[in-house]
């Protein structure tokens, strides 16, 4: 687990510094002051230091340092993209002028520099506001073998910690109770990081007016999944660890965080124990009864289909969270958001990938939404 965290931190740090070097060069050239280059690079180092300090310093001080770093990281990300776009436009205009023999105008200057800063600031503020707006999505899914309607509320990727706490969880619980579900599924990443872990932040879960089923996510493992699971069990939550329970005429199966099979790999591979292909058959799912599978990530869907899963509920992707990562997510995952149907050896498996309620890294959403998902399973009419 430690190796994975250090790899992610090292890659992130390299990307931050590289982006800072380019952005500093762009601002220095356009605003006529070489000190911008130094300022931006120092800011990148400060961001990394605040992330580290936020994890090490407990309480409100750690939360503040981490929050400052996360917001600045988002702003620097969009400042880098804005500078890149402005620089590309200037080059394209110069090429156009050269091809068509127009007089080449020097477009570098304060206007270009301040334009990039303004766009980055506007996008960052918009992203923060958008991430704070919880939306409810309503989905109907016809399900074979179901005898009556069954209402599920799906929660995932809440990411309680430095940026979000008890107040945010209370809001989620309030909106969840207003939907009057038959049961609530939480598919992991309830907490964000070990440094931000505080069981009080999740306390409102006890006020959910329906049975709650939980499976871990990769961030729960980073935060201390054993402590989280023990806390949730005390609150009456059904914690599923490669296990299954019967509920109101259906089977609810839950897997620990894992990859699809032994040949799969991602940055979180070192924290995985087992895989969907090997573990799921041992749950002995009855294919003649409806089965809902809870797993953090949309991994191993074809194996879930073969095992007899009717509905696969997950999160993890955040829908990419921030453009242009929203576009990249479509290539990284077979299903990155929303409702899909997988047609395989055992008929059809419905897959719903929630964009989640919280955020990872910058508390911003551009091109994605924070969602609570209301899923109504309905019997198939014959």
pLDDT tens track for 25-41 = 777 777 766 666 677 77
Q: Pick the last residue of a domain from 85, 104, 130.
A: 130
What is the pLDDT at residue 3?
45
Task: Report the distance separating Cα 353 and Cα 360, nearest Å.
Answer: 16
What is the pLDDT at residue 210?
97
How many domains, the chain? 2
Between residues 313 and 53, the one the model is more confident about: 313
Same domain, 119 and 172: no
Task: Report the distance separating Cα 31 and Cα 144, nearest Å.
Answer: 64
Same domain, 115 and 168: no
Same domain, 305 and 192: yes
Task: Report the distance separating Cα 326 and Cα 21, nearest Å.
Answer: 25
What is the pLDDT at residue 108?
65
Same domain, 153 and 270: yes
Task: Report the distance separating Cα 89 and Cα 344, nearest Å.
Answer: 47
Least confident of 6-20, 39-53, 132-146, 216-230: 6-20
Same domain, 22 and 37: yes
Mean pLDDT of 363-375: 97
Mean pLDDT over all residues of the chain? 88
Mean pLDDT of 88-105: 77
Give the dihedral sign, CA 159/164/168/170: positive
CB atoms < 10 A from the CB of 3, how many? Answer: 9
Same domain, 107 and 7: yes
CATH number of the domain enclosing 341: 3.60.21.10
Q: Pick the last residue of a domain from 84, 107, 130.
A: 130
pLDDT tens track for 261-283 = 877 766 665 566 789 999 999 99
What is the pLDDT at residue 207?
96
Same domain, 199 and 90: no
pLDDT tens track for 209-246 = 999 999 999 999 988 899 999 999 999 999 999 999 99
Where is mean pLDDT largest: 12-16, 18-22, 334-338? 334-338
Same domain, 113 and 155: no
What is the pLDDT at residue 112?
79
What range defines the domain where residue 77 resides? Answer: 2-130
- Of 380, 217, 236, 225, residue with least CA distance to 313: 217
Same domain, 226 and 303: yes
Q: Pick the last residue of a domain from 94, 112, 130.
A: 130
Residue 165 has pLDDT above 80, yes or no: yes
Same domain, 181 and 206: yes
CA distances from 262 to 4, 25, 68, 283 (A): 18, 45, 39, 19
Residue 1 has pLDDT above 60, yes or no: no
Mean pLDDT of 45-54: 82
Q: What is the 3-state secondary structure (H, E, C) of the chain?
A: CHHHHHHHHHHHHHHHHHHHHHHHHHHHHHHCCCHHHHHHHHHHHHHHHHHHHHHHCCHHHHHHHHHHHHHHHHHHHHHHHHHHHHHHHHHHHHHHHHHCCCCCCCCCCHHHHHHHHHHHHHHHHHHHHHHCCEEEEEEEEEECCCCCCEEEEEECCCCECCCCCHHHHHHHHHHHHHCCCCEEEECCCCECCCCCCCHHHHHHHHHCCCCEEECCCHHHHHHCHHHHHHHHHHCCCEECCCEEEEECCEEEEECCCCECCCCCCCCCHHHCCCEHHHHHHHHCCCCCCCEEEECCCCCCHHHHHHHCCCEEEECCCHHHCECCHHHHHHHHCCCCCEEEEEEECCEEEEEEECCCCCCCCCCCCECCCEEEEEEEEEECCC
Same domain, 81 and 222: no
The CA-to-CA distance between both ends of the chain, in Å, stands at 50
What is the pLDDT at residue 9?
60
Residue 2 has pLDDT above 50, yes or no: no
Contact by Cβ (8 Å): 212, 290: no
Same domain, 98 and 174: no
- Of 374, 313, 304, residue with least CA distance to 340: 313
DSSP-assigned beta bridge partners for residue 191? 160
């Amino acid at each position: 687990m430690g190796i994975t965290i250090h790899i992610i931190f090292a890659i992130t740090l390299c990307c931050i510094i590289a982006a800072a070097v380019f952005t500093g060069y762009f601002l220095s050239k356009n605003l006529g002051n070489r000190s911008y280059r130094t300022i931006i690079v120092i800011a990148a180092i400060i961001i990394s230091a605040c992330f580290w300090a936020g994890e090490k310093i407990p309480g409100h001080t750690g939360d503040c340092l981490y929050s400052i770093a996360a917001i600045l990281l988002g702003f620097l990300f969009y400042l880098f993209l804005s500078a890149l776009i402005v620089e590309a436009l200037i080059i394209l205009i110069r090429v156009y002028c050269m091809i068509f023999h127009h007089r080449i105008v020097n477009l570098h200057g304060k206007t270009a520099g301040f334009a990039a800063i303004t766009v980055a600031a506007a996008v960052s503020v918009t992203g923060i506001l958008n991430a704070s707006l919880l939306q409810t999505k309503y989905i109907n899914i016809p399900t074979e073998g179901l005898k009556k309607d069954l209402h599920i509320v799906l929660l995932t990727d809440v990411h309680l910690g430095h940026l979000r706490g008890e107040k945010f969880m209370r809001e989620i619980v309030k909106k969840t109770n207003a939907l009057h579900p038959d049961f609530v599924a939480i598919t992991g990443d309830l907490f964000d990081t070990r440094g931000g872990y505080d069981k009080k932040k999740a306390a409102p879960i006890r006020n959910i007016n329906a049975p709650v089923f939980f499976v871990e996510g990769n961030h729960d493992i980073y935060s201390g999944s054993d402590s989280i699971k023990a806390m949730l069990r005390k609150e009456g939550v059904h914690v599923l660890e490669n296990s299954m329970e019967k509920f109101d005429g259906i089977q609810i199966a839950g897997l620990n965080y894992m990859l699809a099979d032994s040949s799969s790999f991602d940055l979180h591979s070192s924290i995985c124990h087992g895989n969907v292909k090997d573990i799921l058959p041992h749950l002995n799912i009855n294919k003649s009864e409806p089965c809902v599978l809870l797993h953090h990530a949309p991994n191993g869907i074809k194996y879930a289909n073969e095992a007899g899963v009717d509905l696969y509920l997950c999160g993890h992707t955040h829908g990419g969270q921030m453009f242009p990562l929203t576009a990249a997510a479509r290539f990284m995952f077979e299903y990155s958001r929303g409702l899909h149907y997988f047609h395989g050896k055992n008929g059809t498996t419905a897959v719903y990938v929630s964009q989640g309620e919280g955020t990872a890294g910058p508390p911003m959403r551009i091109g994605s939404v924070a969602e609570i998902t209301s899923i109504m399973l309905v019997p198939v009419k014959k």
